[in-house]
Amino acid sequence: MLDAILSVTPSDDRVEFALAVENAGDEPVTLSFRDGQRADFAVYEDGVEVWRWSEGRMFTMALGSETLDPGERVSYGGTWEEPSPGTYTALGTLAADGVDVEAKTDFSV
List residues bridging with 69 in a β-sheet.
none
pLDDT at 63: 84
Split at pLDDT 50, 70, 90, the class of 60 is confident
The proportion of the chain whose per-residue pLDDT surpasses 90, expressed as a percent, equals 83
Closest CA to 93 of 22, 30, 19, 7: 19
- Average pLDDT of the chain is 94
Q: Where are the domains of the chain?
A: 2-108
CATH architecture assignment, domain 2-108 = Sandwich (2.60)
Residue 57 has pLDDT above 90, yes or no: no
Q: pTM, whole model, 2 decimals?
A: 0.90
pLDDT at 45: 96
User: Under 8 Å CB-to-CB from 69, ≥6 apart: which residues?
Assistant: 23, 28
CA 34 to chain centre: 16
The proportion of the chain whose per-residue pLDDT surpasses 70, expressed as a percent, equals 100
N-term to C-term CA, the chain: 33
Amino acid residing at 9: T
pLDDT of 46-56, one tens digit each?
999 999 999 88
